[in-house]
Structure 1
């Protein structure tokens, strides 16, 4: 088996994450994902017997893991500095995509499957959000916040970033994101 075929499942999951980020849950068909991944459509269901929901759940987990790794890297130092770095990466992603790419985890969280399929992607999104929240809570607690305060701020950071990304995509303007980012960094730096 060629290397191209052996990595087909990984390419399919990566393509699905990109489609989630750009088009959302319901617009991400297995056929289009396979095409974008340059993977044989017929083998897609072999690798993903759970079909579209399995592919999108794995894509959500993959995207979440990548963001979690970025958060881990950014938050090695002071929480406000790490948050600033993380927000800068998000800002660049929005601008580079001309506001066409959002968060695949949010897409998986907010869209209900239209085909009465199990909502595996939503469950994966909930797990991802919990990991991000724990990562941020830990960083804020290291900076001297109480566990309860750190957890509350972590939740607010995630919700604020996701909302700011959505607003900037809707308006095709970085302004909403920049205003939210400035407030978050200021809040976290106030210690």
Structure 2
């Protein structure tokens, strides 16, 4: 079944985000987005009257929304497990793309095109949102706001830097190392996080003391 025309805007935004991560802003042209998404050429200026600049803006926002939803979904659980999952997501992305896919938000932040400053502002807004969401997650584990914000910025920088190294080395080793170090840091830094070992022990005790 061919895609519905009403889907063309969403497909173009998703394709632009994927191409940004793989090829950078300079190579993310309208023609490439159309070829990747299968959207009709006539839909470009209908959906994006400002052309390529608007399309990339919206692709950056889309990438930001995807990650923000994942962080928000994790906030009800253990913050350490949530951050572990954040790293695992990027690890799977690296492997699944053959180490071709980086972060589309970073690609926009470092764009050298004439629209570079505009896209850098869009990227800054996304990074700011991620830091707010991560710091809120860390504060649920008992960190004071100031340290939560610092650690959120540190985690985000570690992830993004590790992704660059993974692409260069074609290995998940940099991401695995960053994930392990941050896991250990958070286990000792968060005073109010659930203790999985204690929970497991309680379950075991309950099982031993329950009637057979």
TM-score strictly above 0.5: yes
Instruction: Quickly name the TM-score band, shorter chain normalised.
Output: over 0.9
Matches of residues 27-176 of structure 1 in structure 2 within 5 Å? Answer: 27-113=27-113, 116-117=114-115, 119-176=117-174
Contact 2:108–2:116 (CA under 8 A) maintained in structure 1: no
Alpha-carbon spacing, 1:119–1:44, altered in 2? closer, same or farther (3 Å): farther
Q: How does 1:171-182 map to 2 (within 5 A)?
A: 171-182=169-180
Contact 1:75 1:81 in 2 (8 A): no
**1:84 aligns to what SS in structure 2?**
helix
Name the CA distance, whole Å, in 2 between partners of 1:182 and 1:56: 33
2:88, 2:41 → 1: CA distance?
37
Specify every segment of 5 or more residues in structure 2 that has no aligned partner in the other structure, as ranges: 190-212
Q: How many aligned positions are there? A: 188
Deviation, structure 1 residue 42: 3.0
TM-score by length of 2: 0.84
Shift of 1:118: 6.0
Please name the residue that 1:12 is paired with. 12
Deviation at 1:112, TM superposition (A): 2.4
**C-alpha displacement of 1:187:** 1.2
Secondary structure of 1:108's aligned partner: helix
Q: Is the 8 A contact 2:109 2:124 kept in 1?
A: yes
How far 1:67 moved relative to its partner? 0.7
Q: How far has the Cα of 1:120 moved from its partner?
A: 3.1
The one-character-per-residue Cα deviations of 1:87-118 (angstroms, maximum 9, x if unpaired) are 111111111111111111111112221xx236
Q: Which segments of structure 1 move beyond 4 Å, counting only runs of 4 or more?
A: none
Shift of 1:123: 1.8
| Distance (whole Å) between structure 1 residues aligned to residue 83 and residue 103 of structure 2 | 17
Q: Per the alignment, in what secondary structure is the counterpart of residue 35 of structure 1? A: helix
Native 8 Å contact 1:9 1:47 kept in 2: yes
With the length of structure 1 as denominator, give the TM-score of the two structures: 0.93
- The CA distance in 1 between the partners of 2:168 and 2:53, in whole Å, is 26
- Answer yes or no: is the 8 Å Cα contact 1:54–1:121 preserved in 2: no
| Correspondences of 1:177-188 after superposition (within 5 Å) | 177-188=175-186
